[in-house]
Amino acid sequence: MRPVDYLRPMPLTLSDVQSWLDRYIAAWRSNDAKLIGALFTDDVRYRYHPGDEPLVGRQTVVDSWLESPDEPDSWNAEYRAWSVTGDHAAATGETHYSNGSQYFNVYLLVFRDGACSEFTEWFVTPRSSTDG
């Protein structure tokens, strides 16, 4: 007998990913260990750069975020869910710091039970007027 359709896990949606990204920004701004930890699974694999060995585990990520936290009013960020396929998602956005630094971001994400289990960030800075 086939399971009843309403018992299937709900598929991940762009709205779910956007909600997670909004919570990511709020957690970053708060520098609150509980809010940061709530974003990730216990066994998350987190990369600040695609070639890095991942940080492994929720507490390791929380500790890394809080090692040298950004002051809450020193930056502004806006991230947008871009694509979802199954439990995989991609997001894009921009981060602006009050010192003039600017980054364009791409995140590749994998989710499990509403939390992120894999996180990889790509970021680039704007070209200068001499970059051609």
Q: What is the pLDDT of residues 42-96, one digit of tens each?
A: 999 999 999 999 999 999 999 999 999 999 999 999 999 999 999 999 999 999 9
pLDDT band of residue 1 (cuts 50, 70, 90) is: very low
pLDDT band of residue 11 (cuts 50, 70, 90) is: confident
Q: Take residue 107 and report the two structure tokens written for it.
A: 């995140």
- pLDDT for the residue 57: 98
Q: Reduced to 3 states, what is the DSSP secondary structure of residue 81?
A: strand
User: What's the pTM value of the predicted model, to 2 decimals?
Assistant: 0.88
Phi and psi at 65, nearest 5°, equal -60, -40
Convert the pLDDT of each residue in 30-42 to its tens digit: 999 999 999 999 9
Phi and psi at 50, nearest 5°, equal -60, -30
Range from 7-16, 24-33, 40-49, 108-117 carrying the lowest mean pLDDT? 7-16
